[in-house]
Structure 1
Amino acid sequence: MLFALFPGHLVPDVEQLMVGFVGMDRDRDRAIFLSVEVEVLATVLTTTCPLCFAGLILLFYLILYMFLAGMFSFCIYGLLLTLSPYTPTYRDRVSPPGVMIRPYLHGFTIAFNVSEPSTWTPYVNSMHHFLQAYDDNIQEEKNIECPAGQYFVQDGAESKEKKACQFKRSQLQNCSGIEDPTFGYSTGQPCILLKMNRIIGYRPGYGTPVSVNCAIQKGNESALKSVDFYPGNGTFDLMYYPYYGKLTHVNYTSPLVALHFTDVKKNDFVPIQCRLNGEGIVNNVTNDRFLGRIIFTLSIGM
C-alpha cells in the first residue's frame, strides 16, 4: 500500500515510496550501463575492426535471406505435392478447342503461282515434313487399330502409358502426298490440313463426331465452288479421344481433316473460313479467330 489510512485522510506510505524510488534508480542505472556498453562495443568494432562489424551485418542478412529462401522453397514443394504431372488440376476454364492449319509458313495467307514452282515448293516441303509422323508404316508399328465411332477410354493408373489409335497418311487420299507429291499445288488445287488443338481429357461432340465446313468468309461466294474433305466426309472420329497428355500418350498423333480446294477463283485473294460443327463446339466468338474456326486467304496465280 502506497497510502496509509487515517481517520478521514489518506497519507502516503513513505517507506514503500522510498523502496520504489530506489528500484527505479537501479533500473535506470542498469539501462544506462547497458546502453553505454553497447555504444562502446559498437565504437570499438567500427574503429578497431570495421571489417568485423561489416561481417556481422553480412552474416545477419545472409542468415535472414537463407531462412526466407528456405520457407519459399518449402511452400513451393508443398504446392507441387498437390499437383499431378499427368492431368491439370483446374480445367473448368479450358475453352473448346481451337483450330490450326498446315502448311503454315508466313501467316494465314497461302499465295503462289502455279507456273512458278519456287513459289509453291516451300508449302509442299512443309506438308511432307508435317506428315512424316503419319506414314503408314510408322503408324502400324507404334499405334493400334481402334473401332471407329466411339471414344477410346483407357482405365488404369494415371501414370500408365496409354495406347494411341492409328491415323494413317493414306486416309487423306488425294491430300496424302502419296499419289500426288505436290498436294495439288502444281495444278492450282491445293490441299490444306486442319487439326484441332489438344486438350487433355476432352471428348468433342458429346458422342457425335465433329465435322468441318468451309465457305467464303467475306465477299463473292462464287469464288469458292468446290471443296473435297478427307477422310470420309470431313469429320474427326471419336476414337482419337480423349487425349491423355504427352507424358503417357507418347505416340499420339492428332487426327486431321484435309481440305482439297479443287475449284477456287484464280488471280485473286479469296478469304476462307472453316468451322468446326458439333455439340459443345464454340465457333462464333468475334474476337477469337481460332476458337472453333480458322480464317485464311488463298491467292492462286496461273
Structure 2
Amino acid sequence: MDPSTTDGGAEEKLIKSPLGCVQLLLQAGGSRSAEVSSPNECHKPPKVILKHGVELEEEQEELAEHQPLEQEDLNFERWKRRPIPKRTLHQKIADLKTYLWNAETNEFMGRSGKSWSLILLFYAALYAFLAAMFGGCMFCLMWSISPYHPTFNDRVMPPGLTMAPHLEGHDIAFNASDRKSWKKYTRSIDEFLRSYNDAAQDRKNIRCAHDSYFMQDHLEDSSERIACQFKRSWLGECSGLQDPYYGYSHGRPCILLRMNRILGYLPGQGKPVNVTCGVKKGPQEAIGDIQFFPKNIFDLNYYPYYGKLRHVNYSSPVVAVRFAGVQQDAHIHVQCKLNGKGIINDSPTDRYLGSVTFTLEVGAAERVGKQTGRRSRSSRAGLKQTGNQCGSSADQS
C-alpha cells in the first residue's frame, strides 16, 4: 500500500501478512507503522496500538461483531412474509368470476381453449387405451376358459349338507297349539318344495334307474343333459300333500336335507351316501322315533351334476326327516350327518361340511292350552274384581 499522511504529517504504512492480518503502529511524533501479526492472532479483529503500548478502545471490534448481525437482520426483513391485506366479499366474488371466465384473455378457469382441448384429448386417449386393454384382457380370458366346466381343478371338495326350514340360525322352537309359532317353518318348506311338484317333474324330467350313476359324458359340452325326476309325493308325510303343516301342528315336525351341488362329483365311490340323525348333546331318548322319506340315502342316479348351463332342469335329491316321538318341553341339540366314502362330517371349522346341527324344542299342546285357560280365567276374575271395586266406589260417592 502506498504511504499516506496522517493529520500530524506522519507517514502511514500498512504491511499485510500472508494471512491478511495487519496491525497499525503509531511511531513517535504521531507517525504510525504496520506490524504483521502472528497466525494465531489473525482470527482476532484488527487493533490499532500505540507504539508506547497503549491500546485504543475496542470500538472497531464491537462494530466488526455487530456488522454481520445487522446484515442478517436486513436479509430476514427482506424475505419476511408480508401480511396480505383483507379483501372484501365483493372483491372475492369478482376474482372468482374472473377466474371462471376472463374476458380479456378469453380463458376459462385459467386456461385457454387450446389448452383445454389438449387436456381433454390427452385424457380421452388415455382412457380409451385403458378400456381397450381391459377389453382385450377380458376377451382373452373368456376365450380361454370353458363356461361348462372349470379349466383348472386341483381337487373336488366333499359335499356339505343344508336343511329346510332355513331361517336365521338353526333353532326350531314352537308350540303345536300356537299357529303363529310354527307358520314360518311351514312357509319355508313350501318354498323349498315348489320346484318338486309332481306335474313339473313329469313335464321336464325322466324317471331313471336306481343304484347307478347317470353318466352323460359322451355328449358334447354344449349339449343339454337329461335330469332325473324327484317328485314331491315321494316324501310321504313330509311332502305337504297329506299334511299341509308338515307335522308341526301335531308336535311331530319334519325337516328336509339336501347335499350341495358339486360339478362332476360322484358321491360314495359307487355306493349311496346315507343320512343319520341323533342327539349331539344329551340323552338319545329325547329325540324319540325318527322316520326318513323316501329313504335315508341319496340315490346314485342323480349324479354326476353337469352344471346349470347343461343340467337346466336338474333337481337335487332330498331326504325328509320326521321326528315322530320328540320329547316335549326339552331343548335338544340334533345333528344330521352324511356317511359314506370320501365324506367328511366332523370338521371343527365348517359346521355345514357333511353335517348340519340345530336345536329342536317342541312345546306341549295340552299344557299350553291349560296355561292359556288359566290365564283367561285369571284375567276374567281380575276384570270382575275391578268392576266390583268400581261399583262400590260409585255407591260411596
Measured against the shorter chain, the TM-score band is: 0.7 to 0.9
Aligned residue among 154, 165, 168 for 1:103: 165
Q: Does 1:179 align with 2:242?
A: yes
Aligned to 1:283: 345
List aligned pairs for 1:81-120, cutoff 5 A.
Answer: 81-120=143-182
Q: Which gives a bigger RCO, structure 1 or 2 (Cα 8 Å, sep 6+)?
A: 1
Once the 2 structures are TM-superposed, how far is the Cα of residue 222 of structure 1 from its aligned partner? 2.4
Aligned residue among 184, 193, 197 for 1:122: 184
Once the 2 structures are TM-superposed, how far is the Cα of residue 49 of structure 1 from its aligned partner? 6.6
Fraction of identical pairs, as percent: 50
List aligned pairs for 1:46-195, cutoff 5 A.
Answer: 50-154=112-216, 155-195=218-258
Distance (Å, rounded) in 1 between the aligned partners of 2:124 and 2:156:
43
**CA 1:119/1:51 → structure 2, altered by over 3 Å: closer, same or farther?**
same
With structure 1 as the length reference, what TM-score do the two structures score? 0.81
Contact 1:45 1:52 in 2 (8 A): no
Distance (Å, rounded) in 1 between the aligned partners of 2:360 and 2:271:
31
Q: Show CA shifts across 1:128-172 (max 9, x none).
A: 232122122221111101110000011211111111101111211
Once the 2 structures are TM-superposed, how far is the Cα of residue 193 of structure 1 from its aligned partner? 0.2
Instruction: Give secondary structure in 1 for the equivalent of 2:193.
Output: helix
Distance (Å, rounded) in 1 between the aligned partners of 2:285 and 2:151:
48
Q: Does 1:208 align with 2:271?
A: yes
Q: Which has the higher strand share?
A: 1
Q: Does 1:224 align with 2:283?
A: no
Distance (Å, rounded) in 1 between the aligned partners of 2:207 and 2:156:
30
Distance (Å, rounded) in 1 between the aligned partners of 2:253 and 2:330:
15
Instruction: Give secondary structure in 2 for the equivalent of 1:69.
Output: helix
Aligned to 1:33: none
Q: Does 1:259 align with 2:321?
A: yes
With structure 2 as the length reference, what TM-score do the two structures score? 0.62
Query: Aligned letter for 2:252?
Result: Q
Contact 1:110 1:299 in 2 (8 A): yes
Query: Aligned letter for 2:205?
Result: N
Once the 2 structures are TM-superposed, how far is the Cα of residue 282 of structure 1 from its aligned partner? 1.0
Aligned to 1:40: none
Structure 1 spans left out of the alignment, 5+ residues: 1-43
Instruction: Give secondary structure in 2 for the equivalent of 1:178.
Output: coil
Distance (Å, rounded) in 2 between the aligned partners of 1:294 and 1:225:
19
Contact 1:110 1:298 in 2 (8 A): yes
Distance (Å, rounded) in 2 between the aligned partners of 1:285 and 1:45:
74
Instruction: Give secondary structure in 1 for the equivalent of 2:282.
Output: coil
Instruction: Give secondary structure in 1 for the equivalent of 2:289.
Output: strand
Instruction: Give secondary structure in 2 for the equivalent of 1:214.
Output: strand
